[in-house]
Structure 1
Amino acid sequence: MKASKKLVKKYLPKIIGLRLNSLFLIKPEKAVFKAYELFSSPRKGQIKPEQEIFLNKAKTTSIEYNSNKIQTYHWKGEGKTVILIHGWDSNTHRWKDLINDLQKENYNIIAFDAPAHGYSEGKLLNVLMYSKCLNRMLKLYRPEFVIGHSVGAMAIVYNQYLKQSSFVEKLVLLGAPSEMSAIMSDYKRILRLSDKFMRALEAYFKEKFDYNFSEFSIAGFAKNIEKEALIIHDEFDRVASVEAAKAIHKNLKHSRLKITEGAGHSLNKDEIRKEILNFLNQ
């Protein structure tokens, strides 16, 4: 059974890519749209039964965003407000240990499941969509501190690049990728899409979002952000290169960079959570 699952995992992207390349020869617009949908469709992130126990301790509510209900969680505290933004194929439960630590110091904690993740509705997600959803949450809860992981961290930077929130004091960016061009290069490699296909996909991206792949750079957007920030990234992160963190740090005017070894992409370690708490408390 395990062997068969490994074979499926190994060859499925190639099969999908072959079908997309074949469709592109006949109906290029349809193929490009399907490639965009595939890129923006999470595979995981739904709430597991064992995760419900922790999440049920929070006060929950649904907020309407873009005709979808977004699930929010509130652990009430008397201190400053922290909002938590999880990454791809994840949900609010990924913050369990950090939430426990924040509660010990009486922070007021807000988290939410991204569109198409957890208990939130929707089918698609990308950084631009996530940023708009985050903006809704920022206006509603007005947090002093914003913490994001992976794609969630990308959404924070892009959101603040568009318009810095006056009430936000500090940002924490965990395992953040930077360059859309690098992400799409991996997408091309995994699916073995043709050069012509990728040029058409980039043209679709430009028309839809007003950015070429090379223009959508988290490190580039960081140049205009004045907030104090803590960037944490693992040296051996297999999802997002540590070079992304270094580039973001170089451009964020008031940032500090912490590079770990062995914490992986999740960065869920006691010493890392202590680093975050120390940064917020200063």
Structure 2
Amino acid sequence: MPEQDNATDVFEVGDPLIEAVNRFLTPRPSPLTPRDEALLRQGMALDLACGLAASSWGEGPTVLLAHGWNSRRTHWGAFINALVDAGLRAVAVDAPAHGDSPGHQTNVFAYSQALVRVGGELGPLAGVIGHSFGAGAVAIALHRGLKADRAALISGPASLVSVIEAWGRHHYLAESEIPAFVRLVERQVGESIEALDITRLAAEMNHPVLVVHDQGDEDIPVEDGLAIAAAWPGARALITQRYGHRRILIAKEVLSEVVAFLK
């Protein structure tokens, strides 16, 4: 734990900063839609020892899919269909505290640890794809031992500190409160936030990676994707122009480029 952690002991339950941290770490439920239910019926539920809800579609080399914050595994529908059509097996999991997986709160480090365990259960992966929060978790998981031949990081953050600070400002924390807010989140995560910086980890990686980001991303700026691609040795980058943060997951050019890269 970082030295600054002791300074957070002055905060008590009921303190506005503690309440802000709890909100930051608590995802909103994403109810199943009829489309989600239909996609689940087309796949096969997996019983993972790690406890995460997971489903599998298709046969062939396995590609693991890690969704973003406030999402669920069925939001990968377009990618699942594209992977299956290409002769690959798509396995999508609900992140901790998301979808049908257990838990109330989570964070990117907990998600990454879960992905390492999932990868260990599934065996060597032909590929792994992460979106947004899931892209950050995938990058950390690869650094922590997730075995995958190739990776695609879509709309992912370059700096977790920046994500936490941006959330705090968006939720009206005073600028003077931001450093303490970051350290309180860090205490809950149980790992140094700086040690989880994606660009720092990227420089130590050798996995073939495709970084995908849209210039009009309204949640995570395209500069984050460019920074990851610049730091990751041998990385390829696909920068799109009209899909934003979410529609990028159904864009035909993204689907074709990512599937071709993984194959």
Same fold (TM over 0.5): yes
Separation in 1, partners of 2:31, 2:198: 27
Aligned to 1:28: 11
Inter-CA distance 118–74: structure 2 relative to 1 (3 Å threshold): same
SS in 2 for 1:29: coil
Aligned to 1:70: 52
**How many residues matched?**
248
Q: Is the 8 A contact 1:47 1:119 kept in 2?
A: no
Q: Is the 8 A contact 2:48 2:121 kept in 1?
A: no
Q: Is 1:129–2:114 an aligned residue pair?
A: no
CA-CA distance at 1:76 after TM superposition: 3.4
Taking only aligned residues, the RMSD between alpha carbons, in angstroms, comes to: 1.8
SS in 1 for 2:12: helix
Unaligned runs of 5+ in 1: 1-26
Q: Is the 8 A contact 1:134 1:159 kept in 2?
A: yes
Residues 124-165 of structure 1 show CA distances to partners (whole Å, capped at 9, x for unaligned) of 121101001111111011212001111111001111122353
Equivalence map 1:6-155=2 (5 Å): 28-30=11-13, 31=15, 32-65=17-50, 69-77=51-59, 79-142=60-123, 143-155=125-137
Q: Is the 8 A contact 2:169 2:175 kept in 1?
A: no
Unaligned runs of 5+ in 2: 1-9
Separation in 2, partners of 1:28, 1:150: 30
CA-CA distance at 1:29 after TM superposition: 2.5
Aligned to 1:16: none
CA-CA distance at 1:196 after TM superposition: 4.6
> What amino acid does structure 2 have at the position aligned with 1:277?
V
Aligned to 1:261: 241
Q: Is 1:204–2:187 an aligned residue pair?
A: no
Q: Is the 8 A contact 2:30 2:71 kept in 1?
A: yes
More moved, 262-271 vs 241-250: 262-271
Inter-CA distance 223–71: structure 2 relative to 1 (3 Å threshold): same
> What amino acid does structure 1 have at the position aligned with 2:88?
Y
Separation in 2, partners of 1:175, 1:29: 35
Inter-CA distance 205–146: structure 2 relative to 1 (3 Å threshold): same
Inter-CA distance 215–139: structure 2 relative to 1 (3 Å threshold): closer
Separation in 1, partners of 2:45, 2:18: 35
> What amino acid does structure 1 have at the position aligned with 2:241?
E
Q: Is the 8 A contact 1:81 1:145 kept in 2?
A: yes
More moved, 252-261 vs 37-46: 37-46
Q: Is 1:220–2:203 an aligned residue pair?
A: no
Residues 89-135 of structure 1 show CA distances to partners (whole Å, capped at 9, x for unaligned) of 11111111111111112212211111122211211121101001111
Inter-CA distance 164–136: structure 2 relative to 1 (3 Å threshold): closer
> What amino acid does structure 2 have at the position aligned with 1:34?
E
TM normalised by structure 2 equals 0.88
> What amino acid does structure 1 have at the position aligned with 2:11?
P
> What amino acid does structure 2 have at the position aligned with 1:243?
E
Q: Is the 8 A contact 2:140 2:196 kept in 1?
A: no
Q: Select the residue among 249, 252, 258 that pairs with 1:270.
A: 252
More moved, 133-142 vs 27-36: 27-36
Separation in 1, partners of 2:222, 2:231: 15
Larger Rg: 1
CA-CA distance at 1:265 after TM superposition: 0.8
Q: Is the 8 A contact 1:46 1:117 kept in 2?
A: no
